[in-house]
């Protein structure tokens, strides 16, 4: 039987998914702790042994071995632009869409102090933007010179004013800095163009970063780590929504992925205003958008979730808990491998998941502002209108293992108490029960039709 072995080297677990390519079925899944600090293949081999217990390996021919990774801190990036809410924001969105963890966003002319800060943060890639095409060149050239002088071992993706590209190329070549030049992330005011930069970031990830993170052995076995894990999830979400040439997609959707350290939200939707008389304001939104909330996590970030939400908000979702909420969050942060078994512990975890869903969705979606003018009230929309999105899909450990995934995800729906946030009104709630979304993003690289059909089969109603 021809099969695909799909591997996710996660920050905590290495997860394997074996797929029967002919019958388009999940044969088995297995996981073990990621061992990136010693030898990444130790954790992989343990997981593979578990997989062998579930399927007769002698009858399986793995014709494809594809992998994604968020191990060793994932893909860490710095985004630099000219104006905070324009090119710097566009650069940040391009990096997020490529599956990166953003360590910092800088704008205007960099200072020496900021350069020192960037060096201390140890990014894997710097995304350098600034200026619309034909616009301001001084700022991006200033920043190029500073990077060339002080930062020598970090690859740079240049995605700024095209009229500055030749000079930037010359400066970086003279300083022997590895760089790639691509299209401007914001060629015209308020118009974003993130896909070319995302593509180049991924190329550098495959060429440079995988090796730097001690994953060369894994590459030899697999034949290439294709992308960061979040990029695989975004790819899966997009292909499930849009379909392929031969296979129809399911339409506009939102994916909420709750992890131990972050909550990611992916939306595949145009986000145009759905109500008459509302005008769009601010930077154009990407059709496939990813946001990452680094302070909303179930374990590593449990205390920052508590600080962001506060006792009252968490209490709203679990009014009868016997726990002191702050102390409980502290305990969870100190015991990252804790798995709840008692009902009261499960209930507390699910309440935290609801808070994370609610807040992450609130930050991801657009909102309506009313502006008073002599002509009366004008309503303007900032961000994406997701009111009419058809599906809300949950993935991540707490949702996959929950008996109440619908309850958790319902916290991400439209709330009449905060009506200016444009969250989905009445989406159908689905669950990635087999935890396959990152695997399907990988499979979609070579077998897009199969990936869509498998997701339609395995991502089920909550």
Q: Write out pLDDT tens, residues 379-389.
A: 999 999 999 99
**CA-CA distance, 140 to 127, in Å (whole number)?**
11
The predicted structure's pLDDT at residue 412: 98
pLDDT of 220 over the 80 cut: no
Check whether 212 has a pLDDT greater than 70.
Answer: no
Residues forming CATH 3.30.420.40 domain(s) in the chain? 2-72+213-223
Alpha helices in 38-133 (DSSP H): 40-54, 89-97, 112-121
Q: Is 293 helix (H, G, I), strand (E, B) or coil?
A: strand
Q: Which residues contact 177 (CB under 8 A, 6 or more apart)?
A: 147, 148, 151, 152, 156
Mean pLDDT check: name the lowest of 250-254, 396-400, 457-461.
396-400
CA–CA distance, 280 with 264 (Å, rounded to integer): 25
Closest among 260, 349, 280, 352 to 309, alpha carbons compared:
352
Tell me what the mean pLDDT of segment 26-37 comes to.
Answer: 90
Percent of the chain with pLDDT over 70: 99
How sure is the predictor about 215, in pLDDT bands with cuts at 50, 70 and 90?
A: confident
Contact status, residue 202 vs residue 97, Cβ threshold 8 Å = no
Provide the β-strand partners of residue 373.
376
Residue in the structure block whose two tokens are 């920050």: 11
Cα angle at 132 between 129 and 135, to 5 degrees? 115
Block residue for tokens 């512990």: 345
Mapped onto helix, strand or coil, the DSSP state of residue 332 is helix
Q: How far is CA 216 from CA 13, 77, 153, 442, in A?
A: 18, 21, 19, 19
Question: What is the distance between the alpha carbons of residues 135 and 298, in angstroms, rounded to a whole number?
Answer: 44
Task: For residue 335, report the phi and psi dihedrals to the nearest 5 degrees.
Answer: -125, 70
- Read out DSSP for 337-353? T----SHHHHHHHHHHH
Q: Which CATH number describes the domain made up of 75-208? A: 3.40.50.2300
Q: Do 394 and 431 contact (CB within 8 A), yes or no?
A: yes
Question: Are the CB atoms for 19 and 457 separated by under 8 Å?
Answer: no
Q: How many CB atoms lie within 10 A of CB 381?
A: 23
As a whole number, mean pLDDT of residues 37-43 equals: 86
The rounded distance, in Å, linking the Cα atoms of 250 and 247 is: 10
Q: Which pLDDT belongs to residue 216? A: 76
Average pLDDT rounded to a whole number, residues 104-108: 97
Write the pLDDT tens digit of every residue in 124-159.
Answer: 999 999 999 999 999 999 999 999 999 999 999 999
pLDDT at 236 over 80: yes
- What is d(CA 271, CA 352) in angstroms, rounded to the nearest whole number? 28
2-72+213-223 fold: Nucleotidyltransferase; domain 5 (3.30.420)
CA 21 to chain centre: 27
Q: Whose structure tokens read 């619309």?
A: 132
What residues are paired with 257 via a beta bridge?
264, 395
Tell me if 242 sits within 8 A of 339, measured CB to CB.
no
Cα 96 to the chain's mean position, in Å?
6
Nearest to 292 by CA among 126, 102, 70: 102
Q: 395 pairs with which residues across the strands?
A: 257
Specify the 3-state DSSP secondary structure of 150. helix
pLDDT in tens, 299-358: 989 999 999 999 999 999 999 999 999 999 999 999 988 899 999 999 999 999 999 999
Q: Can you tell me the distance from the alpha carbon of 253 to that of 242, in angstroms, rounded to the nearest whole number?
A: 10
Residue range(s) in the chain whose domain bears CATH number 3.40.50.2300: 75-208
205 has a pLDDT exceeding 80: yes
pLDDT digits 0-9 by tens, 391-436: 999 998 899 999 999 999 999 999 999 999 999 999 999 999 999 9
Q: Work out the pLDDT band at 202, boundaries 50, 70, 90.
A: very high
pLDDT in the model for residue 59: 92
Quick one: pLDDT band at residue 118, thresholds 50, 70, 90? very high
For position 345, what pLDDT does the model report?
Answer: 95
On the question of pLDDT at 73 being above 80, the answer is no
pLDDT tens for 177-196 read: 999 999 999 999 999 999 99
User: 67-81, 207-221, 225-239: which range is least confident on average?
Assistant: 207-221
- The mean pLDDT of the chain is 94
Q: Are 35 and 95 in contact (CB under 8 A)?
A: no
| Residues 179 and 172: beta-carbon distance below 8 Å | yes
């Amino acid at each position: 039987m021809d099969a695909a072995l799909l591997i996710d080297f996660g920050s905590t677990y290495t997860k394997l998914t074996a797929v029967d390519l002919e019958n388009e079925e999940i044969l088995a899944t297995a996981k073990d702790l990621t061992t990136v600090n010693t030898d990444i293949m130790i954790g992989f081999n343990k997981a593979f042994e578990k997989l062998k217990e579930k399927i007769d390996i002698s009858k399986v021919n793995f014709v494809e071995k594809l992998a994604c990774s968020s191990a060793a801190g994932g893909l860490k990036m710095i985004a630099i632009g000219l104006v905070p809410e324009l090119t710097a924001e566009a650069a940040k969105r391009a990096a997020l869409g490529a599956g990166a963890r953003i360590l910092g966003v800088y704008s205007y002319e960099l200072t020496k102090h900021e350069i020192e800060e960037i060096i201390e943060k140890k990014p894997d890639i710097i995304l350098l933007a600034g200026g619309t095409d034909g616009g301001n060149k001084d700022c991006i050239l200033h920043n190029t010179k500073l990077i060339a002088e002080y930062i020598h071992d970090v690859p740079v993706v240049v995605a700024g004013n095209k009229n500055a590209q030749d000079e930037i190329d010359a400066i970086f070549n003279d300083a022997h800095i590895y760089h790639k030049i691509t299209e401007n992330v914001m060629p015209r005011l308020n118009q974003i163009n993130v896909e070319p930069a995302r593509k180049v970031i991924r190329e550098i990830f495959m060429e440079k970063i995988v090796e730097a993170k001690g994953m060369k052995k894994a590459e030899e076995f697999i034949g290439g780590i294709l992308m960061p894990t979040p990029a695989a999830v975004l790819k899966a979400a997009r292909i499930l929504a849009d379909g392929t040439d031969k296979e129809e997609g399911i339409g506009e959707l939102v994916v909420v992925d709750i992890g131990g350290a972050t909550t990611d939200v992916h939306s595949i939707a145009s986000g145009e205003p759905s109500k008459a008389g509302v005008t769009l304001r601010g930077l154009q939104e990407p059709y496939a958008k990813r946001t990452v909330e680094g302070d909303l996590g179930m374990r590593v970030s449990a205390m920052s979730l508590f600080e962001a939400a506060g006792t009252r908000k968490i209490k709203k979702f679990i009014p009868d808990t016997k726990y002191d909420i702050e102390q409980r969050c502290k305990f969870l942060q100190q015991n990252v491998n804790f798995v709840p078994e008692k009902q009261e512990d499960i209930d507390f975890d699910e309440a935290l998941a609801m808070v994370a869903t609610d807040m992450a969705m609130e930050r991801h979606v657009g909102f309506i502002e009313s502006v008073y003018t002599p002509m009366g009230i004008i309503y303007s929309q900032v961000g994406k209108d997701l009111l009419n999105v058809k599906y809300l899909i949950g993935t991540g450990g707490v949702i996959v293992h929950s008996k109440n995934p619908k309850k958790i995800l319902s916290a991400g729906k439209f709330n009449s108490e905060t009506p200016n946030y444009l969250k989905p009104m009445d989406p159908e709630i689905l669950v990635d029960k087999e935890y396959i979304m990152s695997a399907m993003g990988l499979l979609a690289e070579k077998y897009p039709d199969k990936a869509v059909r498998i997701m339609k089969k395995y991502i089920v109603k909550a």
